Structure 1
Amino acid sequence: MSIVDIPSRTAETSTPIHSTLAERWSPRSFEAAETLDEQRLTAALEAARWAPSANNSQPARFIVARRGTPEFTTVVENLMSFNQAWADRAGALVVAVAETVGDHGAPRRWAEYDLGQAMAYFTVQAHHDGLHVHQMGGIDPAGLASAFGLPAHLVPVTVAAVGTLASPDALPDDTLRARESAPRTRLPLDTLLLPTP
């Protein structure tokens, strides 16, 4: 199977949405031989920097580990095994970290929410520029914090693989290849809307 054989990745929506959002998806197959374009990576990080945050507190922090560096290997070692099986082919792994306490010691209750918004901006900008992003929850936050010497108020929340899309054939097993080419699905919009009294 080649990239052209993958079923359409465009979301089926109840009403039209921006094409970058409709076409964004989270692949696991990345071109391992291709070097990540630094300008496009910087643009994604800039988009993340300009995401909204509560009281403009800007609690999003990032560790950017490029393939071929010791930092990249460290991040891979702190992924769950099902993510290790494919994530080492990405051009970079970005550890998304929430700063959960502010400068004056006050807890930032919305830090993880705001970090999520920053990662959404990162993902959409990257996709717009021809990169693909796959965010992972299967990580070892304590292992990452220890490996990178993070203080207690800097909490790793997710890791995002970013790179150039490759064929599903590049994935190491049939299960991953099947998931890569499976149709995209979402709950119907009506399911997400809670009833009001």
Structure 2
Amino acid sequence: MSRTATTTFPVLDVIRQRWSPRAFADQPVPEQALQQLFEAAAWAPSAMNEQPWRYLYAHRADEAAFRQLFDCLLPGNQPWARHAPVLVLALAKTTFSNDTPNAAALHDLGMANSHLILEATALGLHGHFMGGFDADKAREAFGLPANLQPVVIMALGYLGRAEQLDEPFLSREQAPRQRRSVAAFAFPGQLPS
């Protein structure tokens, strides 16, 4: 089954090919490739060029570091995420360098994450972003300061076979990809009442 999205309007192939699998191959991600993804993230736009994104990551081969990130995941994500070659915790620094609040920090981290995941897709890698993790546990585990907000954990790796997953993950992996139509969220002039 093709996982490339069928779009109503033409978009870049790398956008159509990006998706969030739960099945990962047992193949390590080279450190050089991972650094290339972080380089892509570095070039995302940000308010006042603050670049408020931070990433903590661990390769599965580094069992202690991987376990520290893995233990922050909620039980619903652990059964499949344990097979990912890399886990990445994405954080937003919520203050500017002058210690004033940065209201755009989450937006800017999202931009960096988009750059990162599209670069990953171009390299034949896939990532699955998870909001299902314990942010307080991550704060404690990594000794995070108050102005560093844990936002998502991403499982990253090469695509595996859907059949390696148990239910309910197998069905989700094989379900058709769907998105709202552009008309459902983009409006000329004003929002509908």
What is the alpha-carbon distance in structure 1 between the residues aligned to residue 171 and residue 7 of structure 2? 24
Q: Which contiguous aligned blocks of 4+ residues in structure 1 show a shift greater than 6 angstroms?
A: none
Q: Which runs of 5+ in 2 are unaligned?
A: none
What is the alpha-carbon distance in structure 2 between the residues aligned to residue 106 and residue 137 of structure 1? 26
Equivalent residue for 2:180, pick from 176, 180, 187: 187
What is the alpha-carbon distance in structure 2 between the residues aligned to residue 169 and residue 100 of structure 1? 41
- Correspondence 1:69-88 to 2 at 5 A: 69=62, 70-88=64-82
Give the TM-score, by structure 1 length: 0.93
Percent identity (aligned): 41
1:4 corresponds to which residue? none
Q: Which runs of 5+ in 1 are unaligned?
A: 1-6
2:142 corresponds to which residue? 148
Letter in 1 for 2:50: S
CA RMSD of aligned residues (A): 1.1
Does residue 1:35 correspond to 2:28, yes or no? yes
- Any idea what SS the aligned residue of 2:144 has? coil
What is the alpha-carbon distance in structure 2 between the residues aligned to residue 117 and residue 65 of structure 1? 22
Are the counterparts in 1 of residues 50 and 97 from structure 2 also a CA contact under 8 Å?
A: no
1:157 corresponds to which residue? 151
Equivalent residue for 1:102, pick from 80, 96, 101: 96
What is the alpha-carbon distance in structure 2 between the residues aligned to residue 38 and residue 51 of structure 1? 21
Deviations 1:86-126 (A, max 9, x none): 11111111100000012221011100110011001000000
- Correspondence 1:1-197 to 2 at 5 A: 7-31=1-25, 33-69=26-62, 70-171=64-165, 173-194=166-187, 196-197=189-190
- Any idea what SS the aligned residue of 2:95 has? coil
Give the deviation of 1:68 after TM superposition: 2.9
Give the TM-score, by structure 2 length: 0.94
